[in-house]
Amino acid sequence: KRKIIIDCDPGHDDAIAILLAAGSPNIDLRAITTVAGNAEVEKTAINALKVCEIAGLKDIPVARGAAGPLTRKRETAPSIHGESGMEGPSLPIPRQTLVKDHAVDVIIEELLSSKGDITLVPVGPLTNIALAMRKEPLIIPKIKEIVLMGGGMSGNWTPAAEFNIFVDPEAANIVFESGVPITMAGLELTHQAVTTPEIIEQIQAISNPVSEFVVELLQYFSKTYKDEFGFSGAPIHDACAVAYCIDPTVFTTKKLRVDIETKGEFTSGMTVIDINGVTGREPNVNVAMELDKEKFWNMLINALKHYSQA
């Protein structure tokens, strides 16, 4: 089993990423840590608990983390995810409570007590991961890999920057400079994971409480993506990072140099990807290129079917 920690800001696609991980037999989801991003951290933390409640996940620790970026003003995404961060579905009151420890300490503890076999899967702004690296640098060599959703050749929040990196570029810079092996599922990849009516139908047909929840999430998420970006469906960005942990053949990657723009007037939060190799610098990131769509959707559908047995 591959041990992972999901650091997230649920978030419609974050919720689906959690469900994909927890419904996949070869993944050991050690913890869910939450961060401010799509909504304030108080909301994203509760949303994570609600996802666990719906899915019947009782034993996965859920922790609240950073309330805002390292140095910048907080930016949320109500236009995409609604005021609650996970608007749309009817949501239960969670019975599980947050662990007492801060997300950063949960990440540090898990890594220090591990055999170096934990993969971090950040699918929100990188604040918690950067804070953990700063607070306890001994974790850095303990991280097996970081498989993240963020960045891309172009942006969705500004013309140059993707939301997760835009929100906290200083944190992203710490992570990208850390020397830990990074696989980056950016927008070029995640925009290949857009739902179609056929996919929604297949999810609907599973007909268990979790698949019904996912359909409700996708209804809301497709609508905001249609209204804001003219998309035909919902790109399930964050689940792509989890999918790679389940089976790395789900997308192809290229080793490239990636730097984070922290100063640009128009380009702050951009992932500057040296696709033409002009810097001559050592590649630091495995950049995701081509998604095997069939594999991806099968993975998601199989994971959702898993909840029928519960």
Rounded (5°) CA angle 199-24-14: 65
- Residues 225-244, one symbol each (x = binds Ca ion by CB under 5 A, - = not), give -------------x------
Contact with Ca ion (CB under 5 A) among 11, 69, 122, 152: 11
Q: Token pair for residue 105? A: 């300490």
Question: Alpha-carbon distance 233 to 196, whole Å?
Answer: 6
Tell me the C-alpha distance between 278 and 280, whole Å.
6
Query: Is 306 an active-site residue?
Result: no
| Residues between 180 and 239 that touch ligand BDR (CB under 6 A) | 237-238
- Residue 156 interface partner, choices Ca ion, ligand BDR, none, CB cut-off 5-8 Å depending on type: ligand BDR
Region for residue 207 given its phi and psi (left: phi exceeds 0; alpha: psi -120 to 50; beta: otherwise): left
Q: How far is the CB of 116 from ligand BDR (least distance, A)?
A: 27
Under 8 Å between Cβ of 288 and 186: yes
Taking the complex as a whole, the smallest distance from the CB of residue 112 to Ca ion amounts, in Å, to: 26
CB of 171 to ligand BDR, least distance (A): 14
**Is 34 among the residues that bind ligand BDR (CB under 6 A)?**
no
Residues 85 to 144 in contact with ligand BDR, rule: CB under 6 A:
123-124
Catalytic choice (81, 102, 237, 306): 237
Give residues with Cβ within 8 angstroms of 115, minimum separation 6.
none
Total residues interacting with ligand BDR, rule: CB under 6 A: 15
| Interatomic CA distance for residues 123 and 275, integer angstroms | 23
Q: Counting contacts by CB under 6 A, is residue 271 touching ligand BDR?
A: no
Residues shown for the chain:
310
* 6 close to 37: Cβ distance less than 8 angstroms: no
Q: Which stretch binds ligand BDR (CB under 6 A): 23-31, 162-170, 258-266, 302-310?
A: 162-170
Give the nearest distance from C-beta 237 to ligand BDR in angstroms. Answer: 4
Sign of the dihedral through C-alpha 66, 67, 73, 78 = positive
Round to whole Å and give the CA distance between 44 and 107: 17
Alpha-carbon distance 232 to 102, whole Å? 39
Q: For residues 16 and 105, which CB has a smaller minimum distance to ligand BDR in the complex? A: 16
Q: Give the tokens for residue 215.
A: 């359909």
Q: Is 156 in the site for ligand BDR (CB under 6 A)?
A: yes
- For ligand BDR, give the closer residue by CB, 64 or 237: 237
Q: What SS3 class is residue 251?
A: strand
Which one of 10-18, 139-147, 193-201, 290-298 is the stretch in contact with ligand BDR (CB under 6 A)? 10-18
**Closer to ligand BDR by Cβ: residue 120 or 123:** 123
- Which of 85, 88, 122, 124 lies at the binding interface for Ca ion (CB under 5 A)? 124
Residues forming the active site: 237
